[in-house]
Chain A
Amino acid sequence: GAVVSQHPSWVICKSGTSVKIECRSLDFQATTMFWYRQFPKQSLMLMATSNEGSKATYEQGVEKDKFLINHASLTLSTLTVTSAHPEDSSFYICSASGTGESYEQYFGPGTRLTVT
């Protein structure tokens, strides 16, 4: 299957700083990328959907000014957590979907964010 990577795999940042997480589709063009957040012992919760070249669509309750999503190319989407707080500490997972046979969603390995 197609490969999706995330970078970094884990990051620790101080409260009040911003951190950027990258999601890349390595061997296909991802017209749509999805960002999920997962707290310990909970399921994945969809945060936002982004289509290449357009603004992301955020789920209810997700602050778009805090979680900035950019999907500027068909192989890269970024999630920037701005002014991070300890409650933003979570496991962030992206997935990517293309067209045709690539309508399947392929998940990245996740990024563990810890805000101190």
Chain B
Amino acid sequence: DAKTTQPTSMDCAEGRAANLPCNHSTISGNEYVYWYRQIHSQGPQYIIHGLKNNETNEMASLIITEDRKSSTLILPHATLRDTAVYYCIVRYLYNNNDMRFGAGTRLTVKP
């Protein structure tokens, strides 16, 4: 069973920041928060992950609340190619645990 809840869908204007929320209120102390996205008919693409500190890479930023019960993925300047389903997943990192997907958020970037 997925341990996260996300909005079903969101729209974002091209060039604006896309902020995708995720609730994971039952997260345990050694579970990481992962974000993947899936563009139609492709395998999931890794975006970013974090434990408790905010993280940033070339694709996105991940903001995790202090109590770790929720997080936000930020795409700073959304493009049309960012249209995809975004999945927020919590997972133990160091014992080859499987990754279970919830329904995700369908982000549509509009011109």
1/0 per residue A63-100: CB within 8 Å of B? 00000000000000000000000000001010101010
Q: How far is the CA of A108 from the CA of B46 in the complex (A)?
A: 11
The total number of A-B Cβ pairs within 8 Å is 50
Q: Are A43 and B103 in contact (CB under 8 A)?
A: yes
1/0 per residue B95-108: CB within 8 Å of A? 11011111110000
A46 proximity list for chain B (CB < 8 A) = 98-100
Known A-B contacts A34-B98, A34-B99, A103-B96; A110 and B104 likewise in contact (beta carbons under 8 Å): no
For the complex formed, measure the closest distance between the CB of B58 and the CB atoms of chain A, giving whole angstroms. Answer: 12
A44 proximity list for chain B (CB < 8 A) = 38, 44, 101
Q: Are B44 and A93 in contact (CB under 8 A)?
A: yes
User: Contact size class for A?
Assistant: 20 to 34
A25 within 8 A of B: no
Q: How far is the CA of A15 from the CA of B63 in the complex (A)?
A: 48
For the complex formed, measure the closest distance between the CB of B3 and the CB atoms of chain A, giving whole angstroms. Answer: 14
Q: Are A43 and B96 in contact (CB under 8 A)?
A: no
Q: Are A107 and B98 in contact (CB under 8 A)?
A: no
Known A-B contacts A43-B87, A44-B101; A109 and B46 likewise in contact (beta carbons under 8 Å): no
B93 within 8 A of A: yes
B93 proximity list for chain A (CB < 8 A) = 103-104
A43 proximity list for chain B (CB < 8 A) = 87, 101-104
Partner of A91, one of B36, B41, B100, B102: B41
Interface residues of A (CB under 8 A from B): 1, 4, 6, 31-32, 34, 36, 43-46, 49, 51, 91, 93, 95, 97, 99, 103-110, 112
